[in-house]
Chains A and B, each alone.
Chain A
Amino acid sequence: MNREEIGTLNDEQVWLEEARRGDKNAFGRLIEAYQGPVYNLAYRMLNNSGEAEEAAQEAFIRAYTRLDSYDPTHKFSTWLLSITSNYCIDQIRKRRAVMLSIDEPLPPHPALHSDNSKGPEAEFMTREREQLVQGLLGELAEEYRQAVVLRYWYDMSYEEIADVQQTTVSAVKSRLFRARRLMADAGLARGMVPAGEAAVAAM
């Protein structure tokens, strides 16, 4: 852990302590620090920018009101992401109850509509990749999707994912195993090109 990371962690502890005492601005610093990871998780789970923003806001509000139940021996980020992903799973189940499917053509993330800093070709590629990623995630049951997102975007260990999902490490391994195979099959069906010859040697 470098000096900058230690400094950030110390700041985080201070902000948490102040937020616990009711200082909204201190919690605002935490929102600024974690808005990206929380929003990204919500978007990857829900595949809709409006719902993702609502879910991310709700996750921060829940975290703020439940700060007293946060155990400082665990990482704050893991606790926060756990609240977010569980809220998203509830939303997916509610959505299913009103007969809406994740496969419906939903609007892409606003950042993907247009990006002047990239050329049209790069922008097209970005959008294609995003659509493929969200399409593959959409093939998965919510617990599998949660495990995949936490693994790939947050580099969580199996133990951390098991902690978030309140399950065993072997169950997480099994979910990731099935999820990867499902996504590989779905990828092929969507015309995804397998990695080249060098892949065999890339282990």
Chain B
Amino acid sequence: MEHEERYYLMMMDALDGELADGDRAELESHLRACPDCTREWRTLLAVETLFRQTPMLMPAVDFAERTLARLPNRRARRVVMGATYGVLLLSGIVPLLLVILLLARYAPILTQPALLAGVWATVSGIGRAAATVVGALFTGASHLVIEQPVLIGWFIILAGLVFLWGGVFQRLLMQPTGVGSRN
């Protein structure tokens, strides 16, 4: 009920010690008149008391010692990480510098019109050759579909079997082996 929700909110504030004086008087008056809310308040208070009185639990006496033994070596880790970052950085910077140097060194030769025309002719020749090969493959495949339907049927069955067994193996590999490690 709507009025209960309002009083529940007041009870929460009371548990947190944040209930305003005006609300406190209103809640007290309501609790005297409403048995359901009184029961709820008493139960909330019992739970509150139970939790407030339950002490912290401590780990085994040698916990700190065992945890310390498991700590990784931060210094070594930092050196390894630094070296990795350095290598990665150099692997990007060094080739870039080499390209810039080569471009600067051979810029007069590279910008000659005859060379540029030759490069363009080579690139377009490779493109034409690739287009011919792809076209031939498509033509061959279409001939195969028309002339050898049985072979195509076998390919489809083979692909289906690979897909099916792939799924089965994946399920087998994903099987959980345990809850987790314990000391």
Type the 1/0 row for B54-95, where 1 means its CB is closer than 8 Å to any CB of A.
101111100110111011111101100000000000000000
A97 touching B176 in the complex, CB below 8 Å, given contacts A28-B64, A109-B57:
yes
Chain B residues positioned under 8 Å from A129 (CB to CB): 50, 53-54
Min distance, Cβ B52 to any Cβ of chain A, angstroms: 6
Residue B139 at the chain A interface, CB threshold 8 Å = no
Interface residue ranges of A54-103 to B (CB < 8 Å) = 54, 56-57, 60-61, 64-65, 67, 91, 94-95, 97-98, 100
Q: Considering residues B9, B12, B44, B57, which has the most beta carbons from chain A within 10 angstroms of its beta carbon?
A: B57
Asked if B45 and A202 sit within 8 Å, CB to CB, the answer is yes
Bound complex: CA A39 to CA B71 (Å) = 17
Chain B binding surface, main DSSP class: helix
Interface residue ranges of A169-203 to B (CB < 8 Å) = 173, 176-177, 180-181, 183-185, 187-188, 192-196, 199-203
Q: Given A28, A56, A184, which contacts B44 in the complex, CB threshold below 8 Å?
A: A184
Asked if B28 and A203 sit within 8 Å, CB to CB, the answer is yes
Bound complex: CA A200 to CA B42 (Å) = 7
Asked if A53 and B60 sit within 8 Å, CB to CB, the answer is yes
Bound complex: CA A183 to CA B57 (Å) = 21
Min distance, Cβ A198 to any Cβ of chain B, angstroms: 10
Type the 1/0 row for B17-45, where 1 means its CB is closer than 8 Å to any CB of A.
00100001001100110000011111111
Chain A residues positioned under 8 Å from B45 (CB to CB): 194-195, 199, 202
Asked if B59 and A61 sit within 8 Å, CB to CB, the answer is no
Min distance, Cβ B15 to any Cβ of chain A, angstroms: 7
Type the 1/0 row for A18-60, where 1 means its CB is closer than 8 Å to any CB of B.
0100101101100110011101100100000011111011001
A203 touching B71 in the complex, CB below 8 Å, given contacts A40-B56, A129-B50:
no
Bound complex: CA A192 to CA B51 (Å) = 13
Q: Considering residues B58, B77, B176, which has the most beta carbons from chain A within 10 angstroms of its beta carbon?
A: B58
Q: How many residues of B contact A (CB 8 A)?
A: 52
Residue B128 at the chain A interface, CB threshold 8 Å = no
Q: Given A109, A181, A193, A201, which contacts B46 in the complex, CB threshold below 8 Å?
A: A193
Asked if A195 and B46 sit within 8 Å, CB to CB, the answer is yes
Min distance, Cβ A168 to any Cβ of chain B, angstroms: 16
Residue B124 at the chain A interface, CB threshold 8 Å = no
A35 touching B58 in the complex, CB below 8 Å, given contacts A181-B8, A194-B43:
yes
Q: Given B12, B56, B67, B74, which contacts A57 in the complex, CB threshold below 8 Å?
A: B67
Bound complex: CA A31 to CA B71 (Å) = 11
Asked if A195 and B49 sit within 8 Å, CB to CB, the answer is yes
Residue B47 at the chain A interface, CB threshold 8 Å = yes
Bound complex: CA A184 to CA B53 (Å) = 16
Q: Considering residues A22, A176, A203, which has the most beta carbons from chain B within 10 angstroms of its beta carbon?
A: A203
Chain B residues positioned under 8 Å from A109 (CB to CB): 57
Residues of B near any A CB (own CB < 8 A): 8-9, 12, 14-15, 19, 24, 27-28, 31-32, 38-54, 56-60, 63-64, 66-68, 70-75, 77-78, 176, 179-183
